[in-house]
Chain A
Amino acid sequence: MLEAAGSGHSAGPLGLADIFAALYFNILNFDPRNPDWSERDVFFLSNGHTIPVQYAAMAEAGYFDKEELLTLRKFGSRLQGHPERERLPGLENTSGPLGSGLSQAAGYAYSLQYLDDSKHRFVYTVMGDGELNEGNIWEAAMFAGKYKLSQLVAFIDRNNIQIDGSTEDVMPLEDLRGKWEAFGWHVLEIDGHNIESVIDAASMARAITNRPSVIIAHTIPGKGVDFMEYDYKWHGVAPSADQAKQALLKLRTLDGKITHEGAGV
């Protein structure tokens, strides 16, 4: 997708792949044939630049044909470079400028809990860790803590990189757990590449009924592609044709551990 687009973000979406697999194939309750189904769970992407992984998950889940993924970032595509709600059914919000998805998710969760008496739907969001530099996030954190929005479950993609370098060099986030606890949140910390852990954490979060929950998911940026892993320089660039070929080979063969019929292509 990114190679065909010629631009975009590589590291974040790869690092989030396991979380999105868990979200779209276990955690979220939805109907791709009826995206606005009134009983669905709601997912707000906060760090809009990681949208390629959500588009990929949505296509796999049946919202649209996989061929359309190759239109990412192209003129006339429903798959805009950053997500636009009105363009693609199944998106709940428009995002890109960082810091606002948690608030939108909190607004929706407030509605479920206090206005709609709808106790069985949940609102999920994914934020980046660099995104936590934004003041808007902490306004939302205070708000959700105050109103004990227990149907709100937030994931933090704790991959330790942002555009200018490591998060702890650019603007330190630690003690991250302590910060969220101080704002009144239930905090879970997991390996974001262990799908069972992701599913278990979401289940635990749903069982906490007096507070919002945040799942700090430790991930490896560029996961599965050795030349991208851990390197902040892959935050905002797309692979070349050769790099994409190498990357897909590594992903499809688990770095040579298994064979894949399309792996050599």
Chain B
Amino acid sequence: MSHYPLNPDLFSDDVAMEPIRAGFGRGLRAAGEANDRIVALCADLTESTQMHLFRDAFPKRFIEIGVAEQNLVTVASGLARAGKIPFTSSYAAFSPGRNWEQIRTTAALNNQPVKIIGSHAGVSVGPDGATHQMLEDITLMRVLPNMVVIAPGDSIEAEKATRAIAENGKPSYLRLAREKTPVLSVPESPFEIGKAYVLREGSDISLLGTGTMTYQLLKAAESLAEQGISAEVVHVPTIKPLDNQTILVSARKTGRVLTAEEAQVNGGFGGAVAELLSEQLPTPLKRVGMQDRFGESGTPNELLEYFGLTADGITKDVTEFIQNTSQYHQEY
């Protein structure tokens, strides 16, 4: 296991908090400094998606599209043909929510390096309610050939992921969240597209998290340890291409797997892991996330708690899962 340094204050009450989208804003500005082919397009949500940092630094390379998400990605496709590296941003509910076919045809099949940045994903959008709480974006994006799909765990990782997709030459989706969430990594922590990272070793169960849920898993692992349960925590920021190797090694070691995401488990990250395990290493699996239903209005914390997307909820899930499921060891 390669060493993955975590924020030393991770479990203190005054752990640093920052929205993941802030890391994107900084990352895009830095990417723009490094490469003048990078351009940014926004559908009337420039500050919300933190693209204003790029706009203010490079006004000539920023293009306001207005509330027109279909045009957002198709204009980007044309810019890519002209040799640019276009980043497009909106809320995930609208892009890729509204413009999926345009993404499929003009970015994915056309294989142009259009970057789709979906902000305000997940139920933690809160009071805006179900229309704006995008839960299907991972599913929609991961079925597209050529597409890279990343859900960073915190703002530091979002910055690194933004820099990485700026130079990967492929159509890519980056999932961002609105609310402040704990900063779990440090600037030295590794990030590479397609790599998963073991953050904590354990032997009774593998907890696989993507996006902000990894923090909840780390907290759950702490309280599980108090109950004598040894949980391994694996952070999986890249949902596609999935790091099959790291996931299979962990699943083989612990014999039980739980996935966690702030998205639909059907076809989402949980779906991706289910596909992998059932084909290559059938292992008892519990998928935590949205269970085929929409969100609703409420505060972010109320909603995360109600839908079982907190460390407490996951701790309960894990203890039940372990009680009801024997560890499954097999040789391949």
Residues of A within 8 A of B (CB): 42, 44, 84-86, 92-97, 99-100, 103-112, 114-116, 135-136, 139-140, 142-143, 146
**A-contact bits for B68-112, CB 8 A (1 contact / 0 none):** 101100111111111110100000000000000110011001110
Contact of B78 among A96, A99, A105 (CB under 8 A): A105
**B111 touching A107, Cβ below 8 Å:** no
Main secondary structure of the interface of B (DSSP, over half): helix
Of B59-67, B125-133, B252-260, B264-272, the one touching chain A: B59-67
Most B Cβ at <10 Å: residue of A84, A86, A115: A115
**B74 touching A103, Cβ below 8 Å:** yes
**A104 touching B75, Cβ below 8 Å:** yes
27 A-B pairs with CB atoms under 8 Å apart are A92-B81, A94-B110, A96-B105, A97-B105, A99-B70, A100-B74, A100-B106, A104-B78, A104-B81, A104-B106, A105-B78, A106-B75, A106-B78, A107-B75, A107-B76, A107-B79, A109-B78, A110-B63, A110-B78, A111-B83, A111-B84, A115-B60, A115-B82, A139-B71, A142-B71, A143-B66, A146-B66
**B109 touching A143, Cβ below 8 Å:** no
**A116 touching B82, Cβ below 8 Å:** yes
CB distance from A55 to the nearest CB of B (A): 18
CB distance from A93 to the nearest CB of B (A): 6
Most A Cβ at <10 Å: residue of B80, B81, B109: B81
Which residues in B have their C-beta under 8 angstroms from that of A84? Answer: 109-110
Given contacts A103-B77, A107-B76, A111-B82, contact A95 B105 (CB under 8 A): yes
Which residues in A have their C-beta under 8 angstroms from that of B111? Answer: 85-86
Cα distance, A116 to B61, chains bound together (Å): 11
Which residues in B have their C-beta under 8 angstroms from that of A136? Answer: 70-71, 74, 102
Which residues in B have their C-beta under 8 angstroms from that of A112? Answer: 82
Can you name the residue of chain B whose Cβ is closest to the Cβ of A44?
B78
CB distance from B147 to the nearest CB of A (A): 14
Main secondary structure of the interface of A (DSSP, over half): helix
Which residues in B have their C-beta under 8 angstroms from that of A116? Answer: 82
Cα distance, A114 to B105, chains bound together (Å): 26
Contact of A85 among B39, B70, B83, B110 (CB under 8 A): B110
Contact of A142 among B63, B68, B82, B102 (CB under 8 A): B68
**A107 touching B105, Cβ below 8 Å:** no
Most B Cβ at <10 Å: residue of A85, A86, A100, A136: A100
Cα distance, A94 to B79, chains bound together (Å): 14
A-B pairs under 8 A by CB, number: 102
Can you name the residue of chain A whose Cβ is closest to the Cβ of B69?
A139
Can you name the residue of chain A whose Cβ is closest to the Cβ of B114?
A107
Q: For chain B, residues 151 to 200, give those with C-beta under 8 angstroms from any C-beta of chain A.
A: none
Can you name the residue of chain A whose Cβ is closest to the Cβ of B104?
A97
**B70 touching A108, Cβ below 8 Å:** no
Can you name the residue of chain A whose Cβ is closest to the Cβ of B39?
A115
**B78 touching A103, Cβ below 8 Å:** yes
**A100 touching B70, Cβ below 8 Å:** yes
Most A Cβ at <10 Å: residue of B63, B76, B106: B106
CB distance from A47 to the nearest CB of B (A): 13
Given contacts A94-B109, A115-B84, contact A100 B102 (CB under 8 A): yes
Which residues in B have their C-beta under 8 angstroms from that of A139? Answer: 66, 68, 70-71
Can you name the residue of chain A whose Cβ is closest to the Cβ of B84?
A111
Most B Cβ at <10 Å: residue of A96, A97, A136: A136
Given contacts A94-B109, A97-B105, contact A115 B70 (CB under 8 A): no
CB distance from B26 to the nearest CB of A (A): 23
Given contacts A94-B105, A100-B102, A115-B84, contact A107 B77 (CB under 8 A): yes
Can you name the residue of chain B whose Cβ is closest to the Cβ of A84?
B109
Which residues in B have their C-beta under 8 angstroms from that of A93? Answer: 77-78, 81, 106, 110
Can you name the residue of chain B whose Cβ is closest to the Cβ of A134?
B70
